[in-house]
Amino acid sequence: MCGRVIQYRRPEEYAASLGVSCQEGSISEIPTRFNGAPGQNFLVICRDPDSQQPVFSVMQWGFIPSGADDPKIASNLVNARAESVVTEDVFRAAYRYRRCLIPVDGFYEWKKLWPVGKQPHAVGMTEGQPFTLAGLWEQWKNPDGEWLRTFTIITIQSNKFLADLSERMPLIIEPRDRERWMSEEAHPGDLLKPSQSEGMIKWLVSTLVNSPKNNDRDLLEPLPIESVRAIHEL
């Protein structure tokens, strides 16, 4: 499962770092996310339905199917399993027509530590550069007639680097595959696989990450070596 992401740069910074040519579309001001959680708004790169060009948009994390009666279903559709996005009714159309990219600076995973609970780890790239997660998006009209755009993050079986933390990880779309993922291709199935471990980095962070109410840059600071040693001795 992927339940927290890090997204703290501006659209133009992501565009420059990722080498993605994007128009900024209709982007309202959104806060930086050092501990972004479902239910919050995030920058998403999607294909504009009219121009077919990639654009930045702001969407809410938690997928609401277009025909849903109750928006609370979003809490159950924060992630979509890569193994079933082609066949599962709730995601099939979005996978075919509305694939998207979520630009991030990292994400969090939790390692189970018996009997004391779970220890959060931050995951990113060794050079500190942003990267893109695979997602699906949808539009839903609320009872007042207003449209809401929502998204889900696709997950896949963890690679060797993250297997000790979690069985699953977010699906990372490599730079060479971004354009194809955003294309009109019906089923780029060979992209639905764990990313390479090379170039990834992980480090222990404070359990303050456990609460989405905490959202500041200090959350990314590695734990002091004394704390790391204590945890490894458990």
54-61 and 41-47: which strand pairing? antiparallel
Residue type, 35: N
Burial 18-45 (b: 16+ CB within 10 A, else e): bebebeeeeeeeeeebbbbbbebbbbbb
Q: Is 134 helix (H, G, I), strand (E, B) or coil?
A: strand
Chain-centre distance of CA 139, in angstroms? 18
Radius of gyration (C-alpha) of the chain in whole angstroms: 18
From the candidates 2, 22, 46, 100, which is the catalytic residue? 2
127 has catalytic annotation: no
2 has catalytic annotation: yes
Rounded to whole angstroms, how far apart are CA atoms 84 and 54? 25
Rounded to whole angstroms, how far apart are CA atoms 188 and 183? 9
From the candidates 22, 46, 109, 138, which is the catalytic residue? 109
By annotation, the residues acting in catalysis are 2, 109
